Amino acid sequence: MQNMEPENLVVAPNGRTAYVSLPKNNAIARLNLETNQVSTVFPLGNRSWTDYYLDPSDNDGVVSMRGYNVYSFFQATEMAWVSRNGEEWLLTLDTGMLNVIPEYSYQDYQRGKLLADNGAIQTGDSELETQLRDNAELGRMGVSIEDGKRSDGLIGNVFGFGGRGFSIHNAQSFDTPSAIVDSIEQVTKQYYSEIFNTAYLSDTSTPQSDKEATSPLLGPNVAAMEVGDFDGKTVLFMGGGSSGILYVYMLAPDAVCPQPFFHSIHRAGSIFSSWGQSYTAGNMGDIGINDILYLQNSNLAPVLVVAASTSNSISVYSVEEAPFGVV
């Protein structure tokens, strides 16, 4: 195992076990804190997109989500712990991570069109190969140059990066009975289609003009996660690392395994002003979210603290009961 680069750590409530995310290796390591040894490494596998929907292009001009005969690695980054009915569950945010090493001029992906045009892909699926040559379909998708290869070195199965959702694992067996796959992009399309998968590209561009910037690589690029108890409910908060969007999911209380369902979505900041103008006016929002902290207080309303690196901001939101949808 090379380039382990641990990303995140969660300690079990008993204090004897820790879990470490290894996104570049698409794995989670379990550590025995009593012996200071890695006891198990759990491979996370991959997701097929034939039965789910994604938008892998930033050149199609619209939000167009559909299924494709491609795969992606989960590559969990952030993690959280949930206890439910005597069972322990590990939530993983399947953000994805690219391996780029500038000093060696190396990256582990290339655009689908370039690989297809250069004859590096031979899947036996003519429709898929046509899509890979089309920048409005899979041509702009970041395709792994290391995985899915046949014995002759050609790519027979197309792999991208990140599960674009989150998964719930049994902390002991690491079975995965529940996961959210394309829901994050679906609700973004429904409520914030004008800034779907946006990212800061320049001071003079706008969130709207930079729409779909992250679609070909990590999709919604949800980069931060926090679980909290609100009014007797288990709530999952997530933050878009590029878009500045906050997502709220509830974990159903009547299931042995926490079953997630979408509750609401929120984004601060201007959509139509340029990034530079918004930053100067103090109205950029939470761009580049990299950490979220949920705080409860017996005297005051609970708050959600959001740290964002691109906007150089710390935002504090009060958490209150609100209708389903945009808050």
- CA-to-CA separations, 120 to 72, 75, 146, 267, in angstroms, rounded: 18, 24, 11, 41
Token pair of 217, please? Answer: 């690589």
At 28 the pLDDT is: 97
Q: Which residue has the tokens 């979505």?
A: 265
Q: Average pLDDT over the chain, rounded to whole?
A: 94
At 300 the pLDDT is: 75
What is the pTM assigned to this prediction?
0.94
Reported as half-sphere exposure (CB side, CA atoms, 13 A), residue 15 has a value of 0
CA dihedral (104, 107, 113, 119) positive or negative: positive
| 273 CB burial (10 A radius; 0-12, 13-18, 19+) | middle
For 159-200, the DSSP string reads EEE--SEEEEEETTT----EEE-SHHHHHHHHHHGGGTT---
- Residue among 197, 307, 181, 194 nearest 242 (CA): 197
User: Mean pLDDT over residues 215-235, rounded?
Assistant: 94
At 231 the pLDDT is: 87
Token pair of 184, please? Answer: 């994050």
Using one digit for the tens of pLDDT, what is the confidence trace for 270-315? 999 999 999 999 999 999 999 999 998 756 789 999 999 999 999 9
pLDDT range class, residue 1, cuts 50, 70, 90: very low
